[in-house]
């Protein structure tokens, strides 16, 4: 009886293992949902990049620091070391 109870709880297919696997499964599903949402966001951003000039210009300015010919750039240096 004790032997059977031990393997029911702690065996390779015991309750503790099943609980652990359910927890892992939940974590994987949560990560999968996050990745699907991120993929959708990136696909939408890609479509905007392909179609909208204003979005292309904004992205070039933000990520690459592009400016137009008639614009001036002001750089402020910090006094902190």
Structure-block tokens of residue 4: 């059977």
In a domain, 76, yes or no: no
Q: Using one digit for the tens of pLDDT, what is the confidence trace for 39-63?
A: 999 999 899 889 998 888 888 888 8
In a domain, 41, yes or no: yes
In a domain, 74, yes or no: no
Contact between 43 and 36 (Cβ < 8 Å):
no
In a domain, 79, yes or no: no
In a domain, 25, yes or no: yes
Number of structural domains found in the chain: 1
Q: Using one digit for the tens of pLDDT, what is the confidence trace for 5-36?
A: 666 666 677 777 888 899 999 999 999 999 99
Structure-block tokens of residue 77: 């240096």
In a domain, 78, yes or no: no
In a domain, 71, yes or no: no
The candidate with the shortest Cα–Cα distance to 59, out of 73, 72, 69, 47, is 47
pTM for the model: 0.54
Identify the domain containing residue 53 by its residue range.
2-64
Structure-block tokens of residue 2: 């004790």
């Amino acid at each position: 009886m004790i032997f059977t109870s031990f393997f029911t709880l702690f065996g390779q297919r015991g309750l503790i293992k099943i609980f652990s696997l359910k927890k892992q499964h939940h974590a994987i599903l949560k990560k999968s949902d996050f990745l699907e949402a991120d993929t959708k966001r990136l696909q939408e951003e890609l479509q905007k990049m392909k179609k909208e000039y204003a979005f292309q210009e904004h992205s070039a300015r933000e990520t690459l620091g592009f400016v137009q010919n008639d614009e001036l750039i002001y750089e402020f240096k910090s006094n902190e070391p």
